[in-house]
Structure 1
Amino acid sequence: MSDILARLSGEGVAVWLDDISRERLRTGNLGELVRDRHVVGVTSNPTIFASALSKGSAYDEQLRDLARRGVDVGEAVRAITGYDIRWAADVLRPAYDASGGVDGRVSLEVDPRLAHDTERTIAEARALWWLVDRPNLFIKIPATLEGLPAITAALAEGISVNVTLIFSLERYRAVMDAFLAGLEQAREAGRELSAISSVASFFVSRVDTEVDKRLEKNGSDEALALRGKAAIANARLAFQAYEEVFSSARWQALQAAGARPQRPLWASTGVKDPDYSDTRYVVELVTAGTVNTMPEATLEATADHAELRGDTVRGSYAQAQADIDALAGVGVDYDDVVEVLEAEGVQKFEKSWEQLLETVSGELAKAAEGVDAR
C-alpha cells in the first residue's frame, strides 16, 4: 500500500499530532507514531490535558507525590503538564536534530485565563520555558490583541513560540508583524536568530462550523452553495499573506542574519460535519513549508484513504478570495465570524483549564486521603 503520510511529508507538509497524554508516552505509542506515521511534532492544549487527566491511572503516582508535598493546584498542573511535555520533547528530539531544529517540536500553552493580560502572559511564558527546559519546546500564546506584544517579547528573549487561536487574515498579518518585531529585537540584543523558532496556528474547521451555521440559517440556494468553502478559502488566503510577508525586504534582512520563517500551521483540522470528507482539511491545504497538526482520528484517516493531489494552495488565491467575498452577498459578516470565533476559542480553553484545575484538585484530594490513611 502507498504510504500516504510519507507522500504528504514529501510534499513539504510536516505531520504533527494534536494530542498528548501520559498513557500515550508510557506505552510508547508516541514513538510508534513517529516511526510508523511520520509524526514530527506534537501540540497540546488545555482541553487535551483535561481529557488525559480524567482517564486511567497514569498520573496516580505523581499525584500522590504532589499530595504528600501539599502543593497547590496551580503548581500541580504545572508539574503534571511539564512532565508530559518534557517526555514528549525527548521522544521527538531525534526528529528535532535530524531537521536541524525545524521539527521535533512540542507545544505547551500558557494559562488561557491570561489571554488578555500581556505582562502576565510574558511572565508565564518565561516560567514554562524554564520549567520544561528543552530546546524543542514551543510556548503557545494566543493571538489576542493583548497576546501580540507578549509574542514579540517572548521571541525577543529567545523563547520559541507557537501562536495559537488565529482565525482572521487581519490578525494573522499582525501575528507575522509581531514575529518580525520579536526577531528584530532579538537581533539587536545579539541573540542567535537560528535558535529561535515559531509557527502560527491558523484554525480551520471552526470557521466552517460557524459560517455554515449562518448559511443554513439564510437557507437560500446561493447561501447553501457556499457551505464548506469558507475555512479552506480563509486558510489559502492566509498562505498568500505568508508568501507576501516572507518575501519582503524586512524579512530578507532577518533571514540574512540567520532567522527562520514562522511556518503556517493548520490547526483544528478534525472534520466536524459528517457531510464532508474526513480528510478535507488535510488534502485541500497541501503546500510546502507548512505544518498540519491532526487529532489521531484525522491522522489515521489520512493514512488510510486521503487522496493527495499535490499542492492545493498555491495558485488558488483568486477563487479563495471570491469565496470569501461571496459570503457578504448572503449576509455573512466575515469580521463578525472571526471575532466570535476568537472569543469562543479563548472561552473554550478557559473552561477546559478550569476543568483541568478541578480534576487535578479532586485527584489531589483523593491522593491525600490515601496518603493520610497509611
Structure 2
Amino acid sequence: MTDRLADLSAAGVAVWLDDISRQRLASGNLDALRREKHVVGVTSNPTIFAKALSDADDYADQIADLAVRGVSLDEATRMITAYDVRWACDVLRPAYDESDGVDGRVSLEVDPRLANETDKTIAEAGALWWLVDRPNLFIKIPATRAGLPAITAALAQGISVNVTLIFSLERYGEVIDAFLTGLEQAKANGHDLSKLASVASFFVSRVDTEVDKRLAAIGGPDAEKLKGTAAIANARLAYQLYEERFASDRWQALAAAGAHPQRPLWASTSTKDPNLRDTLYVEELVAPGIVNTMPEKTILAYADHGETRGDTITPAYAEAQQVLDSLKKLGVDYDDVVEVLEREGVEKFEKSWTELLDSVRTQLGRAQ
C-alpha cells in the first residue's frame, strides 16, 4: 500500500488539519489522525468553532459550570475555545517534541471583531497565550493593516503567531517584515528565538472563487482557459517571495540566533469548484518547508488518490507570473480582488463569531 500522505510529508509539506471540536478530541479522532495520517498541526477559526458549538451535548458540562459562575458571554466563549485548543495542544505534543517545536502547533484566533484595532488585538493575543498556556500554541492574528503591528508586538513578547487572511503578494511582503521586526525585538527583549515559531496563512481557493466569477462575467475562450489557475499562481509567487526574503542577510542574522523561518501555510485548500480535482490545491503547491492545512475530507482524499510529484512550485514561477499577467490583460483587477477577499474574510469571521456567541448565549441560558 502506498502511503500518499507520507510521500507528501517527505516532499516537505507539513500536513495540518483545518478543524477542531470537542467531539473530535474526546473520540480520539485527532490522535488517530496524528498517528495514522501524518497530521502534525491543527488550525481553527471562528467558523470552525461556530460549527463545533452547534452540537451542544459535547459542551454541556462546561457550559453548566460557566452558567453557575455567571461569567460574561465573551469570557465564556474564550474559556470554551481555549479548552479545546489546550486539549489539542496536548494531543499534538508528540509532534511538537519530535520536530523540535516546528510542528505540533494548534492555532487559536483573536476575536475577529478586533481585526482593525491594533492595541486590543495585542492585548487579546497576550490573554489567550496566558489562558491556553501551552508552548505549541499559535495565536492567529489577521494580516489587516491594523494586524501588522500587532504581529510584531506579539512576537516581541515571545508569543508564537499564525498570521491569517493573507491574499495579496504585497501584503505578504509586509507580513514578512512584521515577522522579522518582531523577532529582532524578541531577541532584544531576551527571548529564546528557537522557541518562537510562526506561519503565514496564504488563502488559496477563495482566490479562484473570486477570480473565476469575474472571468465568467468577461466570457470568451481566453477567460475560460484561465479559470482555476489564479489561486495556484498567486500561492506559487508567494513562495518565490518567501525564498527571496528568507535568503537575506537580515534573516541570516536571526537564523544564527536560533530563529525558525516563518513558513508559508496554504489555507482554504479544499476545492470549491466541483469541476476541479479535489486534491488540486495540495498537489500543485508542494515545496520544502511549507504547511498545508486541510479539512479531514481533503486529507482522506489525498490519502486515497493524491499524487506527490516532488516540487511543483519553484519550477513554475514564470508560468505563475504569466497567469497573473494574462488575467490583467483580460481586465481582472488583482488589487481589487485581494482587497475584496480581505474585507470579506474579516466579515465572514465576524459573522461566524457572532453565531458562536449566539450559540453560547443560548446554551448558557438553558443551563441557568
TM-score normalised by the chain length of structure 1: 0.98
Measure the CA separation in 1 of the matches of 2:306 and 2:46.
Answer: 29
Q: What does residue 63 of structure 1 align with? A: 63
Deviation, structure 1 residue 145:
0.5
Q: What does residue 324 of structure 2 align with? A: 324
Alignment of 1:5-84 (within 5 A): 5-84=5-84
Q: Does 1:346 align with 2:326?
A: no
Deviation, structure 1 residue 257:
1.0
| Residue identity matched to 1:20 | I
Alignment of 1:303-322 (within 5 A): 303-322=303-322
Alignment of 1:1-374 (within 5 A): 1-368=1-368
Deviation, structure 1 residue 328:
1.0
**Deviation digits for residues 260-291 of structure 1, max 9, x if unmatched?**
10000000001100000000000000111000
Deviation, structure 1 residue 82:
0.6
Measure the CA separation in 2 of the matches of 1:281 and 1:27.
Answer: 29
SS at match of 1:58: helix
Deviation, structure 1 residue 100:
0.3
Deviation, structure 1 residue 56:
5.0
Do the aligned partners of 2:56 and 2:363 also contact (CA within 8 Å) in 1?
no
**Deviation digits for residues 272-324 of structure 1, max 9, x if unmatched?**
00000000000000111000000111111111111221110012100000001
Measure the CA separation in 1 of the matches of 2:192 and 2:55.
Answer: 42
Measure the CA separation in 2 of the matches of 1:277 and 1:367.
Answer: 45
Measure the CA separation in 2 of the matches of 1:270 and 1:95.
Answer: 24
Q: What does residue 372 of structure 1 align with? A: none
Measure the CA separation in 2 of the matches of 1:164 and 1:17.
Answer: 15
Identical counterparts, % of pairs:
70
Measure the CA separation in 1 of the matches of 2:25 and 2:223.
Answer: 46
Measure the CA separation in 1 of the matches of 2:345 and 2:32.
Answer: 31
Do the aligned partners of 2:112 and 2:346 also contact (CA within 8 Å) in 1?
yes
| Shift >3 Å, 4+ stretches | none
Deviation, structure 1 residue 187:
1.2
SS at match of 2:231: helix
Measure the CA separation in 2 of the matches of 1:197 and 1:20.
Answer: 21
Deviation, structure 1 residue 43:
0.2
Measure the CA separation in 2 of the matches of 1:75 and 1:30.
Answer: 26
CA RMSD, Structure 1 to Structure 2 (Å):
0.6
| Residue identity matched to 1:112 | P
SS at match of 2:57: coil
Deviation, structure 1 residue 224:
1.1
Measure the CA separation in 2 of the matches of 1:186 and 1:178.
Answer: 12
| Residue identity matched to 1:286 | V
Measure the CA separation in 1 of the matches of 2:193 and 2:205.
Answer: 33
Change (3 A) 1:56 1:361: closer
- Which ranges of structure 1 fall in alignment gaps of 5 or more residues? 369-374
Deviation, structure 1 residue 81:
0.4
